[in-house]
Amino acid sequence: MSPAKIKFGTDGWRGVIADDFTFANVRRVAQAAADFWRGQPGNGVLVGYDNRFFSEVYARLVCEVLAGNGIPAIYSSVAAPTPAVAYAVRDRQLRGAVMITASHNPPRFNGFKLKANYAGPADPELCGAVERLVDANPVQSVPFDGNVEIYDPRRAHLVAVKKLVDLKTIRAAGLRVVVDSMHGCGGRLLEEVLGGTTRTIRGDRDPLFGGVNPEPIGRNLGALCAAVKQSRAHIGLATDGDADRLGVVDDTGRYVSIQLVFALLLLHVLRHRGERGGAVVRSANCTTIMDRICQAHGVELVEVPVGFKYICQQMREKDVLIGGEESGGIGFRGHIPERDGILANLMLLELLAVTGKKLSRLLTELQAEFGRSAYDRIDMHLPLEKRDRFIAALKQQPPADLLGVPLARTNTLDGVKYIATDGSWLMFRTSGTEPIIRIYSEASTSGRVKKLLAYGRQLAETM
């Protein structure tokens, strides 16, 4: 029986634990990565991992293969955030890193993420090169003990992050903060940084993530909403399974769309941090409030396909103030070209501290100045062959209107995005990691968003 085919997705390979994500297949991919990194400049390769089933064991196997190929292998002593692992690449001048994680996917998944020597997500060229090297050579490994360095990447990352925010002002503001790590590897790191009136929920390891996917979106943050209300906190902050994304609950205990959080962080960077020059980068499925803010401040806006690797590419090629995606991954100037949920949450606290305003008020002021925005997304399971035909049909036959509002244009940068003359839009794209289609919509009212999403679902169901 021939070994299973390994197919890389967004920035690495993901699979179902004990199905295709097995010890044998992890070794195969590790050997391919070793073949790629052998002879590359740099001090070695760090292997980090999250809190999923067997993540630390998979990471040990990867280290054994790297070391067996003569590559200095470094093993994270603890489950560590993806941005901490990426930061170590720059800090220690490594060839790259491997992160064993499936990020926000359901508990049955795990993954093998590649971090490049520029301390960001692997680009398609790197992923393609490693994928082509799978089974090019037999697996070589050595015992873990005595051949692998042990290192905690969290410390240096926290030192770097603290330098990027006004921690003194944040602490002096006396903000009551509830942190929800969703049982991921964010753990109690934010509480450690903030101290004082900060408390953490779901900060311990649970490979089942308490029965919800470790994705910091509204339907998964009920515990955080309740904790904010119960403790009368100023804000609730969440990180996903590998702590590279954030989720936010305001002072009323209400989940806040990441679209609005992204917009607030952009305003904070421009108005309170006084940063000038550079560009703003957003994914194609992000709110157009970003466009209006950029236009008002004379800042260049760059739209890219969905996936932080495209934002990373812009951050490597030009001066980028801030770059973000719909799923809560945000990167900042002066840091690594990688999304960082720890830093993004601290930046948001800095905004509250320097303005002295509640988050609910800041959100009201944002939409009063730049227009109201309602936004939502639904996911539909659709077999691979059907979803690709569906996207092709949408491109070939766009509707004349979106529920009575004339169509202004169609954007095919990533999937298909129908934009109406009133500014509302409906977007369809396939997931890079799962057999699903994602449907997004933005409009001035939540009622129209719901209707547009229902219309989008109807189109997909009649495919």
pLDDT in tens, 63-74: 999 999 999 999
pLDDT band at 4 (very low <50, low <70, confident <90, very high): confident
Is pLDDT of 302 > 70? yes
pLDDT band at 433 (very low <50, low <70, confident <90, very high): low
Mean pLDDT, residues 8-24 taken together = 92
pLDDT at 91: 98
Mention every residue, 6+ apart, whose C-beta is less than 8 A from residue 429: 285, 306, 391, 414, 415, 416, 437, 438, 440
Q: How far is CA 48 from CA 58, 154, 215, 402, in A?
A: 10, 10, 20, 46
DSSP 43: S
Q: Is the pLDDT of residue 157 over 70?
A: yes
Q: 357-378: per-residue pLDDT in tens?
A: 999 999 999 999 999 999 999 9
What domains can you pick out in the chain, each with its CATH number? 12-153 (3.40.120.10), 164-370 (3.40.120.10), 374-461 (3.30.310.50)
Asked if 36 and 96 touch (Cβ cutoff 8 Å), the reply is: no
Query: How far does Cα 175 stand from its chain's mean position?
Result: 26
Residue 180 has pLDDT above 90, yes or no: yes
Name the nearest CA neighbour of 234 among 177, 168, 174.
177
Judged against a pLDDT cut of 80, whether residue 295 lies above it is answered with yes
